[in-house]
Amino acid sequence: MSTGEVNIAETIDRLEEIAETLEDGEVDLTTAKELREEADNHLEELRDALDVGDGDIIEIDGEDANIEASESATQD
């Protein structure tokens, strides 16, 4: 995995750790603010990593793909 890639599972685990720490309420305000900023950064990374376009998911099996490709070729 390159340095530009986000490890989604590890990022989610870290977000859960941050949430648990903040929920415990045993951190000072400065630490809580730092954890919140870290969580915001992780959430932004996840949003960017999971942004794959307009949200449409199309399932095509190999047979359908060949039919569509053949139809397109004959229409040109």
Within a domain: 67? no
How far is Cα 25 from Cα 69, in angstroms, rounded to an integer?
59
Within a domain: 33? yes
pLDDT band at 73 (very low <50, low <70, confident <90, very high): low
Residue 56 CA, chain-centre distance (Å), reads 16
Within a domain: 15? yes
Give the total number of structural domains in the chain.
1
Within a domain: 21? yes
Q: Are 6 and 49 in contact (CB under 8 A)?
A: yes
Q: How much of the chain exceeds pLDDT 90, in percent?
A: 50
- What value does the mean pLDDT of the chain take? 81
Within a domain: 35? yes
Rg (CA), the chain: 22
Over residues 5-33, the pLDDT tens digits come to 779 999 999 999 999 999 999 999 999 99
Within a domain: 59? no
Within a domain: 69? no
Within a domain: 62? no
Burial-class residue 6 by CB neighbours within 10 Å (0-12, 13-18, 19+): middle
Q: What's the confidence (pLDDT) of residue 34?
A: 98
Q: What's the confidence (pLDDT) of residue 22?
A: 95
Domain range enclosing 45:
1-53
